Structure formats: structure tokens, C-alpha cells
Amino acid sequence: MMNDSFCRIIAGEIQAHAGQVEAAVRLLDEGNTVPFIARYRKEITGGLDDTQLRNLETRLGYLRELEDRRQAILKSISEQGKLTDELANAINGTLSKTELEDLYLPYKPKRRTRGQIAIEAGLEPLADLLWNEPSHDPDVEAAKYIDADNGVADTKAALDGARYILMERFAEDAALLAKVRDYLWKNAHLVATVVSGKEEEGAKFRDYFDHHEPIANVPSHRALAMFRGRNEGILQLSLNADPQFDEPPKESHCEQIILDYLGLRLNNAPADIWRKGVVELDVAHQSLNAPRNRTDGYRARTCGRRSD
């Protein structure tokens, strides 16, 4: 079965008519290969060529996987009793796996994270107080939450836990994720380095032992090779979010995006250094996860477009 709207989307992307796409999908679903269809079924597809058919096949697979995941997410959120009309419309309206997962993040069953452990230790009121009322002294307030039985041994542990609570909260904001990711996609450099001692074992990845380039310019085959190298424990991947500077700037552009989005102004209030630490932690989290999330975009580029 083929979703009619997906059929129209693919038709626009490969510069064909919806009827041609529908015919090609039927042939593919019957088990015919792209070369066979391109050569022997031109009269059925209206003359779709090999390139159009390969792009159609790739995009069809992506959209079907997207739809399957969409339905699973809708079911999960509905069973939690948290599916609003607004959220359902957003989930049904996206054509990006990355955006879909961003929308699902706040409702996704989670492993026990540092933030969750901190919440269980009773540190959420501390996090909210320092974030919303920075006139309070962090050390003074954190001292009130020291509880060795709950794993909060000292003020540092309390402040670190509160920081992780907020970082994880902001990391689940789909709109903020999109803003940071868009900046990284347009400006950041993907950096690959070899894991110390893995040079001989990972010789096939030697081209990426000391490699960096704008993430937006990395072709899909090279990106996926680097991801394989990381998965095999040969390469370390990171993002340089501000490659225009020889030294890391005092305040990165990603930090400014987050500050602006949250409406946060740092004015040397007692808790402002701590609040800036929350933002820096969120930037680090976004940068670490962006290379993994961009696999969605790289795969979509093989169809001649980005998915998000």
C-alpha cells in the first residue's frame, strides 16, 4: 500500500506525475528490480529512467519507515494519555525522522538518566529556583539539599544534579533542538580523529585519522564511512560548532541561540555562572548527538534532498 500524499511528495522530488510513481511502486512491490523496470516497463511507468526509479525506491523506503515509526509513536503517546490534538498534528505533519524523534523525546520511555536520578533525589525544586530566581546563592541553596542517603553528598553533587535536570529538560524541546541543529548543519565542522592505539587495526579508515570539513559538505558515503569507523571503535567523532575561531570563543553561537530561545539574560546575578553552566552542558549534549542525528539527513541526501 502507498500513502497518496507520499506518492505526490515523491512525484515532486523526482519530477514525475503521481500516476507514474503509483505504477512504479506497484511494480516494486511485486518484486521487480529497478533495472528491470527501467528497461522493460517504460510503458507502465511513463518512461521513468533508472535514476528516477532508484531515488523513488530509496525515498519510498524512507517514507514507509517514517510512517511505521509515526504510528508506533502515536500509539505510545496515546497509551500514556498524553496525545493532544496539537501534538498529533505535529507528528502527522512531519516528513523527517529526526523531527519525529524530537517530538517523541518528552514521551519516550527512558533509561534512568542523571537528570532522572537527580529528580528522584529531590533536586528539581533547586533546579527551578536557581534557574528562575538567579538572585539566590547556589551554594547556600544547594546546602539545603545535601542528603547522603539520597546520593547528594555535598553542594557540588546537588548543583550538578540540578544542572542535569535542566539540561535534559531543554534537550527535549523540539523547537530548540531544531534551531541548534540547523545552526550546526550550516556552520559546524565534523571532526574525526583516530582512537589512540587503533591505528593499525583501523587502517582502512586511515583517511579519517585526522579529518575535518564542513558538515554540510560531507557526502553521504564519506559520512557513513566515518560513522562505521566510530561504531567499530576506531574513530572519535565530534563537532566544532565555531570553526571560524582559532580558539574557542568565550560564548559560542550555539550558547547564544539557547540563551535567546530561553529568554535568558546573564547579568552577574549570584546564580548566573551556574545557569551559564546549564547552557554549556546543553550545547555539549547537542554537539555530541548531532553527528548521530545527522545520519538521517545524509541518507535523505541520496534522494537529492534533505529530510529536515
SS3 of 167-194? HHHHCCCHHHHHHHHHHHHHHCEEEEEE
Looking at residue 259, which CATH number applies to its domain?
Answer: 1.10.3500.10
pLDDT digits (tens, 9 = 90+) for 181-211: 888 888 888 899 999 999 999 999 999 999 9
Residue 98 lies in a domain: no
Residue 234 lies in a domain: yes
**What SS3 class is residue 280?**
helix
Domains in the chain, number = 3
206's CB contacts (< 8 A; 6+ apart) are: 199
Does 291 lie in the same domain as 237? yes
Does 126 lie in the same domain as 80? no
Distance CA 182, CA 184 (A): 5
Query: Does the pLDDT value for residue 235 go beyond 60?
Result: yes
Domain C-terminal end among 93, 124, 141: 93
Cell (9 digits) for 102: 524530537
153's CB contacts (< 8 A; 6+ apart) are: 146
Q: How confident is the model at residue 248 (pLDDT cuts 50, 70, 90)?
A: low
Residue 308 lies in a domain: no
Q: How confident is the model at residue 241 (pLDDT cuts 50, 70, 90)?
A: confident
Cell (9 digits) for 258: 539557547
Residue 296 lies in a domain: yes
Domain extent at residue 73: 4-93
Residue 103 lies in a domain: no
> Residue 266 to residues 101, 256, 263, 269: CA-CA distances in angstroms?
31, 11, 10, 7
pLDDT digits (tens, 9 = 90+) for 264-296: 888 889 999 999 999 888 777 665 565 555 545
